[in-house]
């Protein structure tokens, strides 16, 4: 009887399980997904036998997914084990027409990067875009809410065509996904489509070029032709043709352990909200973007020996790179080996020539397996260092440094203009190859720094005293900034007669410090939080040394974190710079047009000389209303934000009157101007001067000065600045001198700037102002100053001055009257 009951019970359980399966009651785990995929080939839902879809005519490429090509059809055969696994989908241009998107879009430019999963839903396979910006531990109840409130979009849905005989793979047709205009992977975003009036993809002229599968990635090339009313190259055919490369790479099953970001050390980052936190809010965590470097021999590494990483960072040169530049590029890449040695690694970064067809027949600069220094045939004068990283952990997977062909011309020009007075070898249009190579090497090193995770550090040049730039021994050892990541390109301070000067930048001690922070392997740390204490100790150890300070490029107020400046005193540095620039200006025809018997180079260099003058002046302007930012934690002494001293700001205004607002007559060189332009001389100077005057007379600067004086009455005030500017700009009204045309233009610019401060209606939604201008002191003190100017003009118009000056004074009075009493 007992046996009969047991058998009956077993039969009931089996029947119940069968009933549950037949009614579709199942959970959504990946295990269940795989079980479901073993369902028989139900021909009523369109799923066919494997050999009916993947026929004997198929040409198959095995890899991450097997890729089958049958005539014009392309199929993916996806292993079930790769469903619901994280992958990265990267779209980039392989070929494109000239001028598409402006100067910074080129072959190799990424257009989209997305983390995706391939998921099964009923008889379809979906590409779901995944997000890691909001996370929570799977074990916590809130994880359900995180997923519900961060529902990811479906990029594409494919019908299941077949299952393999053993049901371990699923087959889908990807022809339409890669062969039609799918917006999520297109190279032409909405902005470009609008700009070029793109109508549609011309299917008759569009096709899949190639599809290759590798063990961890798939590479697809598409040739797309669009009908467009206003193509970037207008040849009358209203056509835009591009070749896109689509890379899909499997992300590591276990993400790299992230490293916490500390804003005292500059780094490119990714952030996410962690709802697992015990804080009474979602905890925003920010991590470094960096390559994964692990020592081959951890014990030797712990003993302090230099150890090679298991997987070094490897950069290939673009096959298009001219032979004469290849050695400089490789040297620029491998300059970082020394910085990685500071982090305990040797041979951590390696440069290689592009492989030949025999060495690697599959090599392609667009292939996501390769990091490449792309050499771009473009008139753009720049270089960039983008990268692709795992959004879960910040691990950098691949990067492409972009070198634009014309970039060296910019460096040649600035070398001549900024160092030519003290550096005889710069006084030519044919810069010696050794020096051009050194410049190229350092530009590549700078861009490699970006691809390693380092942003610009604009405080690094402020670490060195101005007078040290005239010391040969100092410059040979230290270069011109504490890091290659500053925008400090040349030593423009060194004067004629200074000896053994290094004029070109180089890597510095901050680079070693930052690489150590980001890449030193910390043993036994099981999480990012486990590293926090030791990372903080490294920062505190260097915190009082300006060489290791990080200054944000984005700062609009910190004069110690400016672009293109060098030295710790802008007034002294710019004084030296202008002395040199005067020598260069006088000799510019001799170094250019006299040699070439053409004026094109003279015109180009004179235009750039004016820009150099503007930079030197701008460095001083930034100190007025400036605030020095010194990022620190509450446990460190001192304030984070400190206004520039009153005496230095007053000195800056005085310097500006002497060097920028007094007419820079040395820029009005007849031997240059009369050979490059027929007119526009006076307005060229007006534009130069007005730019800096307007920069001084703006709401943001006045607001900072009001705040600083409110905190401490000893600080420079907005009223004092306006008084000091007024006294210099209108100095002729007191002296009784005639006013030159250049000064008349500048004084009218002053009135325009003050009028703007009096009347401009600021949109609080769009304005960057941090105070209510209408209810602040700004309008009142500006009105008061203009009343004083009006009284000065009334008195000065009665003096014995020339007719132009009298007319100018009367006109200025009338402008003020109209401002006070508009009709």
Examine the pLDDT at 38 and tell me if it is beyond 60: no
243-281: pLDDT as tens digits:
999 999 999 999 999 999 999 999 999 998 777 777 766
Examine the pLDDT at 597 and tell me if it is beyond 50: yes
Residue in 91, 400, 66 with CA at minimum distance from that of residue 212 = 66
**What's the whole-number mean pLDDT along residues 425-447?**
95
- Tokens 């680079």 belong to 511
Does the model's pTM come out above 0.85? yes
pLDDT of residue 260: 97
Q: Which two tokens stand for residue 533?
A: 């204490």
Q: Which two tokens stand for residue 592?
A: 């250019």
260 neighbors 287 (Cβ within 8 angstroms): yes
Q: Which residue has the higher pLDDT, 83 or 102?
A: 83
List, in order, residues 6 or more apart from 339 with CB less than 8 Å away: 507, 511, 512, 514, 515
Q: Which residue has the higher pLDDT, 618 or 139?
A: 618
Q: Which two tokens stand for residue 303?
A: 């003993």
Instruction: Tell me, yes or no, whether 610 lies in a domain.
Output: yes
Examine the pLDDT at 440 and tell me if it is beyond 50: yes
Q: What is the mean pLDDT of the chain?
A: 90
pLDDT of residue 22: 38
Instruction: Tell me, yes or no, whether 492 lies in a domain.
Output: no
Lowest mean pLDDT among 296-300, 582-586, 797-801: 797-801
User: What region does 99 belong to: left with phi over 0, alpha with psi -120 to 50, or beta?
Assistant: left
In the 3-class helix/strand/coil scheme, how is 14-60 assigned residue by residue?
HHHHHHHHHCCCCCCCHHHHHHHHCCCCCHHHCCECHHHHCCCCCEE
pLDDT of residue 283: 79
Cα–Cα distance measured from residue 815 to residue 823, given in angstroms and rounded to the nearest whole number: 12
pLDDT of residue 352: 96
pLDDT of residue 763: 64
**What's the whole-number mean pLDDT along residues 96-120?**
90
Q: 384 pLDDT band (50/70/90 cuts)?
A: confident
**What's the whole-number mean pLDDT along residues 665-669?**
94
User: What region does 108 belong to: left with phi over 0, alpha with psi -120 to 50, or beta?
Assistant: left
Pairing of strands 239-250, 217-228: antiparallel
Distances 572 to 28, 493, 576, 610, 664 between C-alpha atoms, Å: 69, 9, 6, 19, 18
Residue 325: CB atoms within 10 A of its CB come to 20
**What's the whole-number mean pLDDT along residues 617-633?**
96
190-202: pLDDT as tens digits:
999 999 999 999 9
Distances 753 to 692, 695, 745 between C-alpha atoms, Å: 11, 9, 12
320-346: pLDDT as tens digits:
999 999 999 999 999 999 999 999 999
**What's the whole-number mean pLDDT along residues 144-154?**
75
Q: Which residue has the higher pLDDT, 25 or 275?
A: 275
Half-sphere exposure (Cβ direction) of 368: Cα atoms closer than 13 Å: 31
Pairing of strands 383-384, 396-404: antiparallel
Cα–Cα distance measured from residue 522 to residue 141, given in angstroms and rounded to the nearest whole number: 32
- Tokens 């490293």 belong to 259
Task: Please report, rounded to a whole number, the percentage of residues in the chain having pLDDT higher than 90.
Answer: 79
Q: 761 pLDDT band (50/70/90 cuts)?
A: confident
**Domain termination residue (choose one: 178, 196, 215):** 215
DSSP letters, 69-124, are EETTEEEEEEEGGGTT--EEEEEEEEE--TTTTSTT--TT-EEEEEEEEEEEETTE
Instruction: Tell me, yes or no, whether 466 lies in a domain.
Output: no
Q: Quote the number of domains for the chain.
A: 2
pLDDT of residue 675: 93
Instruction: Tell me, yes or no, whether 786 lies in a domain.
Output: yes
Q: Which of 32-41, 154-163, 371-380 has the highest mean pLDDT?
A: 154-163
Instruction: Tell me, yes or no, whether 195 lies in a domain.
Output: no
pLDDT of residue 236: 78
**What's the whole-number mean pLDDT along residues 684-691?**
96
**What's the whole-number mean pLDDT along residues 404-431?**
94
Examine the pLDDT at 13 and tell me if it is beyond 60: no
State how far Cα 419 lies from the chain centre. Answer: 28
Q: Which residue has the higher pLDDT, 147 or 732?
A: 732
pLDDT of residue 432: 93
Q: Which two tokens stand for residue 241?
A: 């043709």
Instruction: Tell me, yes or no, whether 413 lies in a domain.
Output: no
Q: 24 pLDDT band (50/70/90 cuts)?
A: very low
Examine the pLDDT at 686 and tell me if it is beyond 80: yes
Instruction: Tell me, yes or no, whether 232 lies in a domain.
Output: no
Examine the pLDDT at 39 and tell me if it is beyond 60: no
543-566: pLDDT as tens digits:
999 999 999 987 889 999 999 999
For residue 180, the enclosing domain spans 20-94+106-187+209-215
Residue in 814, 670, 684, 691 with CA at minimum distance from that of residue 753 = 691
Cα–Cα distance measured from residue 710 to residue 276, given in angstroms and rounded to the nearest whole number: 43
Cα–Cα distance measured from residue 310 to residue 728, given in angstroms and rounded to the nearest whole number: 65
Examine the pLDDT at 2 and tell me if it is beyond 80: no
Examine the pLDDT at 27 and tell me if it is beyond 50: no
Q: Which residue has the higher pLDDT, 500 or 45?
A: 500
424 neighbors 416 (Cβ within 8 angstroms): no
Instruction: Tell me, yes or no, whether 140 lies in a domain.
Output: yes
pLDDT of residue 32: 35
């Amino acid at each position: 009887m007992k046996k009969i009951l047991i058998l009956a019970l077993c039969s009931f359980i089996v029947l119940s399980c069968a009933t549950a399966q037949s009614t579709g009651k199942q959970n959504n785990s990946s295990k269940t997904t795989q079980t479901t995929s073993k369902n028989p080939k139900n021909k009523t839902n369109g799923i066919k036998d494997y050999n009916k879809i993947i026929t004997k005519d198929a040409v198959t490429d095995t890899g991450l997914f097997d890729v089958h090509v049958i005539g014009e059809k392309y199929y993916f055969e996806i292993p079930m084990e790769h469903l619901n696994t994280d992958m990265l989908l990267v779209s980039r241009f392989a070929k494109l027409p000239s001028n598409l998107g402006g100067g910074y879009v080129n072959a190799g430019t990424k257009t989209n990067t997305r983390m995706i999963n391939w998921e099964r839903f009923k008889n379809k396979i979906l590409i779901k875009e995944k997000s890691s910006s909001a996370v929570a531990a799977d074990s916590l109840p809130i994880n359900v809410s995180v997923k519900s409130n961060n529902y990811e979009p479906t990029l594409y849905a494919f019908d299941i065509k077949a299952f393999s005989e053993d049901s371990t793979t699923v087959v889908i047709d990807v022809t339409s996904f890669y062969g039609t205009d799918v917006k999520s992977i297109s190279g032409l975003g909405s902005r470009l489509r609008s700009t070029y009036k793109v109508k549609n993809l011309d299917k008759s002229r569009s096709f899949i070029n190639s599809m290759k599968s590798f063990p961890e990635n798939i590479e697809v090339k598409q040739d797309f032709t669009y009908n467009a009313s206003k193509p970037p190259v207008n040849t009358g055919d209203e056509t835009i043709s591009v070749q896109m490369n689509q890379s899909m790479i499997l992300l590591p099953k276990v993400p790299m352990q992230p490293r916490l970001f500390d804003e005292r050390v500059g780094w490119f980052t990714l952030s996410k909200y962690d709802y697992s936190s015990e804080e009474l809010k979602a905890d925003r965590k920010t991590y470094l973007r960096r390559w994964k470097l692990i020592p081959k021999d951890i014990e030797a590494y712990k003993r302090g020996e230099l150890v090679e990483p298991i997987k070094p960072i490897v950069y290939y040169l673009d096959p298009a790179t001219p032979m004469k530049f290849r050695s400089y590029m490789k040297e620029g890449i491998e300059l970082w080996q020394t910085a990685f040695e500071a982090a305990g690694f040797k041979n951590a970064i390696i440069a290689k020539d592009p492989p030949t067809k025999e060495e690697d027949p599959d090599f392609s600069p667009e292939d996501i397996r390769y990091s490449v220094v792309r050499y771009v045939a473009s008139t753009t004068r720049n270089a960039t260092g983008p990268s692709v990283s795992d959004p879960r952990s910040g691990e950098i997977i691949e990067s492409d440094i972009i070198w634009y062909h014309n970039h060296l011309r910019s460096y040649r020009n600035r070398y001549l203009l900024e160092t030519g007075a003290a550096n005889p070898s710069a006084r030519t249009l044919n810069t010696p190859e050794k020096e051009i190579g050194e410049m190229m090497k350092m530009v590549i090193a700078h861009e490699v720094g970006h691809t390693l995770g380092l942003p610009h550090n604009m405080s690094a040049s402020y670490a060195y005293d101005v007078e040290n730039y005239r010391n040969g021994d100092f410059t040979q050892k230290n270069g011109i900034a504490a890091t290659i990541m500053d925008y400090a390109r040349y030593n423009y301070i060194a004067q004629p007669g200074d000896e053994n000067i290094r004029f070109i930048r180089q890597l510095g001690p901050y680079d070693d410090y930052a690489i150590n922070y980001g890449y030193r392997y910390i043993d036994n740390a099981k999480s990012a939080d486990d590293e926090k204490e030791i990372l903080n100790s490294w920062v505190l150890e260097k915190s009082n040394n300006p060489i290791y300070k990080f200054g944000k490029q984005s700062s609009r107020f910190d004069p110690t974190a400016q672009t293109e400046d060098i030295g710790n005193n802008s007034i002294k540095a710019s004084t030296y710079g202008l002395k040199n620039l005067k020598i260069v200006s006088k000799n510019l025809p001799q170094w250019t047009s006299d040699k070439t018997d053409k004026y094109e180079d003279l015109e180009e260099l004179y235009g750039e000389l004016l820009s150099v003058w503007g930079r030197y002046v701008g460095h001083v302007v930034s100190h007025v209303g400036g605030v020095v930012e010194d990022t620190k934690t509450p446990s460190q002494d001192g304030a984070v934000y400190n206004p520039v001293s009153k005496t230095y700001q007053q000195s800056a205004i005085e310097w500006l009157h002497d060097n920028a607002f007094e007419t820079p007559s040395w820029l009005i060189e007849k031997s240059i101007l009369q050979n490059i332009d027929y007119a526009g001389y006076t307005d060229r100077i007006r534009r130069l001067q007005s730019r800096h005057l307007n920069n001084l007379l703006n709401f943001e600067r006045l607001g900072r000065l009001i705040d600083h004086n409110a905190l401490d009455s000893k600080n420079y005030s907005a009223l004092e600045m306006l008084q000091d500017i007024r006294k210099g700009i209108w100095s002729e009204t007191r002296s009784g001198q005639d006013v030159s045309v250049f000064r008349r233009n500048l004084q009218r610019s002053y009135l325009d700037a003050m009028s703007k401060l009096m009347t401009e209606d600021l949109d609080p939604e769009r304005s960057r102002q941090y105070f209510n201008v209408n209810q602040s002191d700004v309008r009142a003190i500006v009105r008061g100053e203009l009343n004083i100017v009006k009284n000065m003009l009334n008195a000065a118009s009665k003096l014995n001055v020339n007719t132009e000056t009298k007319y100018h004074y009367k006109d200025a009075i009338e402008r003020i009257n109209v401002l006070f009493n508009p009709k």
